[in-house]
């Protein structure tokens, strides 16, 4: 089985940390961000497709063609036209159900396995703050995804898209959709076209760490120290 990891971004909010290092290669708790994901992938996943861009050669140098028993392939996204565009760059390599995740977030082993149990699924995290940013996930009466609304949101216990997906190659039959107000194609926006054709399951996350800035890196160090049994393999 395959997984696509989107690892092309620079991460400008990391400042000087990403001047010579791509964001997915930043270190947290003794590993780079990509290692945190690849090291906990279940045995069913034997091939990792890395979509690289900014300083992508450094990712290639580190992981090579085989890492931790997984075959590694690379696809280059020369211009950052969004997560939808990044995934579509891999479509000729995809042949069966697959997973997609972001290269700069940290996930738990259990969450990956829970998503793997479904043909179509999106990982979500309940918000803990009154105001939060991201993709607010709206459910239908059966508990499947109805809508994903980007922006800043107010409310209690909102469901926020954690950007880990289980998909089938049928996703590629839909045209790419731009993120409102931007010239980038979003994977969530494109995925919404499939909600009438496939029941897209919502999986609630145990642990999802977004790495947006330096403070996130420091906080992740503390959280991983307390949750090593969740993230370790």
Instruction: Please tell me the distance from the alpha carbon of residue 233 to that of residue 138, in angstroms, as a whole number.
Output: 32
Instruction: Please tell me the distance from the alpha carbon of residue 116 to that of residue 114, in angstroms, as a whole number.
Output: 5
Instruction: Please tell me the distance from the alpha carbon of residue 207 to that of residue 93, in angstroms, as a whole number.
Output: 29
Average pLDDT, the chain: 93
Tens of pLDDT, residue by residue over 140-177, are 988 899 999 998 898 888 999 999 999 999 999 999 99
Closest CA relative to residue 77, chosen from 63, 91, 96: 91
Closest CA relative to residue 213, chosen from 34, 10, 13: 13
Tens of pLDDT, residue by residue over 177-190, are 999 888 999 999 99
pLDDT greater than 90 at residue 67: yes
181: left (phi over 0), alpha (psi -120 to 50) or beta: left
Whose tokens are 């045995």? That residue is 43
When pLDDT is cut at 50, 70 and 90, the band that residue 232 belongs to is low
Closest CA relative to residue 167, chosen from 87, 91, 99: 99
Q: How far is CA 158 from the centre of its chain?
A: 19
CB within 8 Å of 29: residues ≥ 6 apart: 36, 220, 221, 224, 225
Tell me what pLDDT residue 230 has: 55
Tell me what pLDDT residue 128 has: 79
> Which SS3 state, helix, strand or coil, does residue 110 take?
helix
Tens of pLDDT, residue by residue over 197-207, are 999 999 999 99
> pTM of this prediction?
0.94
Question: Token pair for residue 167?
Answer: 């998909």
Tell me what pLDDT residue 32 has: 96
When pLDDT is cut at 50, 70 and 90, the band that residue 61 belongs to is very high
When pLDDT is cut at 50, 70 and 90, the band that residue 9 belongs to is confident
Tell me what pLDDT residue 133 has: 83
Look up the CATH architecture of domain 2-124+162-174+198-231.
Answer: Alpha-Beta Complex (3.90)
Tell me what pLDDT residue 105 has: 95
What mean pLDDT is predicted for residues 89-100? Answer: 97
Determine how β-strand 66-67 pairs with β-strand 70-76: antiparallel
């Amino acid at each position: 089985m395959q997984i696509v990891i989107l690892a092309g971004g620079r991460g400008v909010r990391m400042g000087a940390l990403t001047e010579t290092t791509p964001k997915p290669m930043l270190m947290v708790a003794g590993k780079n961000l990509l290692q945190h994901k690849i090291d906990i992938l279940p045995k069913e996943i034997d091939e990792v497709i890395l979509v690289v861009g900014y300083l992508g050669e450094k990712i290639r140098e580190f992981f090579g063609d085989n890492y931790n028993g997984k075959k590694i392939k690379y696809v280059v996204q020369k211009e950052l036209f969004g997560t939808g565009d990044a995934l579509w760059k891999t479509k000729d390599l995809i042949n069966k159900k697959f997973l997609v995740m972001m290269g700069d977030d940290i996930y738990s082993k259990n969450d990956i396995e829970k998503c793997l149990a479904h043909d179509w699924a999106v990982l979500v995290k309940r918000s803990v703050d009154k105001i939060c940013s991201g993709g607010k996930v709206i459910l239908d009466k059966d508990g499947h995804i109805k809508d994903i609304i980007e922006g800043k949101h107010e409310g209690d216990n909102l469901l926020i898209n954690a950007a880990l997906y289980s998909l089938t190659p049928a996703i590629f039959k839909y045209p790419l959709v731009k993120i409102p107000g931007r010239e980038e194609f979003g994977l969530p926006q494109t995925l919404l076209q499939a909600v009438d054709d496939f029941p897209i399951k919502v999986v609630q996350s145990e642990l999802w760490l977004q790495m947006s800035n330096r403070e996130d890196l420091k906080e992740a160090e503390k959280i991983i120290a307390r949750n090593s049994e969740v993230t370790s393999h």
